[in-house]
Each structure stands twice: as C-alpha cells, then as structure tokens.
Amino acid sequence: MLTSRQKLILSAIVEDYVRSAEPVGSRALSKHNEIHLSAATIRNEMADLEEMGLLDQPHMSAGRIPSQKGYRFYVDNLMMRAEIDAETLAALREVFVQRMTEVERIIQQTSIVLSQLTQYTTIVKGPRLDAGRIKRVELVPLVRGTVVAILVTDTGHVVSRQVLMSEDVTPDDLAQIVNLLNTKLREVPLSRMRSHFYQEVSEEMARTLERYEDALAVLDELCAVDPESGRVYVGGTTNILAQPEFRDVDKVRPLLALLEREETAGQVLPKHQPGLQVRIGRENEVPMLQECTVIAATYAVDGVPVGSVGVLGPTRMNYARVVRILDYVSNALTRVMTERLSGA
C-alpha cells in the first residue's frame, strides 16, 4: 500500500515524464508547488517506489521513469479526470453535427480527426455488418457458371462473394433472382438473415423461380458473411514515428506492418466489451503492442456494442486526456449510430 506522499511522487513522475519524455529527477520534483519535500526525502521515496516495481531507472545517473506497473497503478488509482479544452471540443462536435448520410463516412472522419487531436495513431472499427440493413443486392457475371454476389448495406458496407451457378444460367435468370432478392431483402436487418427469414425467402424462391437452386446458392453465400465484420480505419499511422520511443525504424517496422493491413489493424482493438479499456504494454496480447498502450472504447446501438474506437501510442501517453476524449467520442458515436441504425 502506497503512502500519500508516494502516490504524490508517482503521479508527478508519470505526468512530468509524459510531458518531457526525459527521466525525472528528485531536484525537479522538489520544485513542484504541491510537493513540499526535500530532494533527499524524494530520492528515498523514489528508491522505495522502484523497489516496488513502479519505477525504472534507465541509467544509474539518470532520474526515474514509470514502469508498466507504475502506469497501471496511476491509471487505476491516481489519474484525475481531465476536461476537454474548448478547441478540441469544437473539433469533435464538428464531426458529429455534419449531415453525413453514410455511417462509414462518419467512422472514417472520426479516425482522421481523432488522430489529429491526440497526435497518436487511431483505429476505428465500423459497425458490425449485422448492425445494418440491406440496401440492395447485385449479381455480376464473371465467367460461365460463376457470378459475384454483391451486398450493400445502409451503413456503407459492401460485401462481395463468389457464387458457383449452373453453366447455362442466363442474364434473364440473374435478373429474376436479383429482383426477388431485392424485393424480399431490402430494408431487412442483416441480423435476421440466418433466422426464420431465410426459410421465408427460400420458400418464395422455390415457388416462383425456375432457377431455384442457383438462387439458393446466392442466398447461401450472402448468409455466410461474417456478421461481426466491420471496416477498420486507421488514422495518423506515422504519428507513432514522432514518439521518441519509436525512432528506431527497425524496432517500429513490425508495428507499422500490423497497421498497414485492415485485417491485422483490427487486432489492435479488444473485442466488443462494453465500456472503456486501457491496456498497457504486456497487457496487450499482440506481441508488437507490448511496448505500447492501447486505450479503446465501444459504441453501441440500442445498448448492444457494435464497434470500437481506440488510440495507440507509447506507454508514455497522456492517459487522462485520451481517456476523456475517447469517452466523448464513444458516447457521440453511440448517439449518432443509434439515430441512423436503430430499428426505429
């Protein structure tokens, strides 16, 4: 259990190190207005904090820096609630008052603005596919007996699946299948595709289409899409290079490779667990992230988490500010997504 002055010293070291990226010494701490202790007393307390594993000393002659354990204690016990400054608040509000009709456009803009405001790398995962409604279905012939089925949702998702069909299927056959699917599926929530609605559509196909088996093949492929998939947008990838901890290009190359591809960038964010999570260093399961901090929050539609937004940076992160900004963004996304995607 830390004493009150140990907590004060640890908090001051974390906040000074976040600002300066330089080890913090006892003389610097003794000049803090709120720390009324001699440099010698502070050195003794710092030594005790180091022994507890809360501080590290990178060089014998240098001051101390927080360890990953120290950051965790700070976040859980010492961090004060930050207020969003007026300029940041205005920039965030601008994103969510725009009349953007496509949900994916809102997500993309959020990732850009968030990276600019935090100066860290941001990852925003768009709504789960099954959070949207079907806008239209298209069939595009490839070669004989093969088509691409395209599903477009009101969230801006575009999903394509290759479908094997009869070799003698004609353009008229495809047009009939498309017309029936659009008649039956338009405005239907994707979450209903695998339920009783599948049975209803397949029975209608059996009654009205000569090419029933081909139509069923299309429906089967559309129902096979991953309901949890969502577009991933990364903002400010190169911001990581501006951090002193990542100036070694060889050291940061695997991290940049992770962020380069959408399917791997999504691994940075934790699963859709409600609320806000702070993962520091080795708390991240992905090896490339174990010298980083990931702060992530979910957003929801009708109380169900459908996507997430996160900030990736060094463990030397401005935790209080990022947490406050993400709290605002997740609440704003929840409001906007519920307005656009709820069953109302």
Q: What does the block give as tokens for 82? A: 């930050």
Mean pLDDT of 334-342: 79
DSSP letters for 6-68: HHHHHHHHHHHHHHH-SPBPHHHHHT-TT----HHHHHHHHHHHHHTTSEE-SSTTS-BEE-H
Helix (DSSP H) and strand (DSSP E) numbers for the chain: 12, 10
According to the model, what pLDDT value does residue 59 have?
82
Distances 73 to 23, 47, 52, 236, 280 between C-alpha atoms, Å: 18, 17, 11, 28, 11
Residues 183 and 119 in one domain: no
Q: Which of 38, 56, 78 is the last residue of a domain?
A: 78
Name the domain count of the chain: 3
Q: What per-residue confidence (pLDDT) applies to 280?
A: 97
Among 78, 95, 110, identify where a domain stops. Answer: 78
Q: Residue 170: pLDDT above 80? A: yes
Query: What is the domain-level CATH number for residue 154?
Result: 3.30.390.60
Same domain for 234 and 122:
yes
Q: Which of 190, 206, 223 is the last residue of a domain?
A: 223
If asked whether residues 35 and 111 sit together in one domain, one would say no
pLDDT higher than 50, residue 8? yes
Looking at the structure, do residues 298 and 252 belong to the same domain, yes or no? Answer: yes
Per-residue pLDDT band for 227 (boundaries 50, 70, 90) equals: low
**Is residue 154 located within the same domain as residue 218?**
yes
**From 86-95, 107-116, 140-149, 332-341, the region with the lowest mean pLDDT:** 332-341
User: How far apart (Å, rounded) are the C-alpha atoms in residues 121 and 32?
Assistant: 31
Average pLDDT over residues 180-194: 82
User: Once rounded to an integer, what is the mean pLDDT over residues 80-91?
Assistant: 92
Query: What type of residue is 38?
Result: S
Residue 75 is given by DSSP the state: I
Model pLDDT, residue 219: 87
Q: Using pLDDT thresholds of 50, 70 and 90, give the confidence band for residue 156.
A: low
The CATH number of the domain holding residue 27 is: 1.10.10.10
- 99 and 157 inside one domain: no
Q: Report whether pLDDT(62) > 90.
A: no
- The answer on 134 and 123 residing in a single domain is no
Helix (H) or strand (E) holding 262: helix 262-265
Asked whether residue 336 falls in the same domain as residue 249, the answer is yes
Q: Which domain holds residue 74?
A: 4-78
Neighbouring residues of 72: CB distance < 8 A, sequence distance ≥ 6: 280, 283
> For residue 137, what are the CA distances in angstroms to 177, 181, 188, 194?
10, 7, 12, 16
- Per-residue pLDDT at 342: 62
Whether residues 120 and 137 share a domain: the answer is no
The CATH number of whichever domain residue 316 belongs to comes to 3.30.450.40
Specify the pLDDT at position 344. 42
Tokens of 187: 């405005």
Confidence tier at 341 by pLDDT (50, 70, 90): low
What does the alpha-carbon distance between residue 206 and residue 323 come to, in Å, rounded to a whole number? Answer: 54
pLDDT digits (tens, 9 = 90+) for 274-320: 789 999 999 998 999 999 999 999 998 878 788 899 999 999 999 99
Q: How many CB atoms lie within 10 A of CB 305?
A: 20
Task: Give the pLDDT band of residue 56 (cuts 50, 70, 90).
Answer: very high
Q: Which range (101-110, 239-248, 327-336) has the least confidence?
A: 101-110
Examine the domain organization and report whether 318 and 260 are in the same domain: yes
* Span 161-169, average pLDDT: 89
- Mean pLDDT is highest, among 85-89, 160-164, 210-214, for 85-89
Q: Are 234 and 123 found together in one domain?
A: yes
Q: Span 322-334, mean pLDDT?
A: 95
pLDDT at 228: 65
pLDDT tens figures, 18-43: 999 999 999 999 999 889 899 999 99
C-alpha angle with apex 230: 229 to 233, nearest 5 degrees?
A: 140
Is 69 found in the same domain as 30? Answer: yes
Mean of the per-residue pLDDT values of the chain: 88
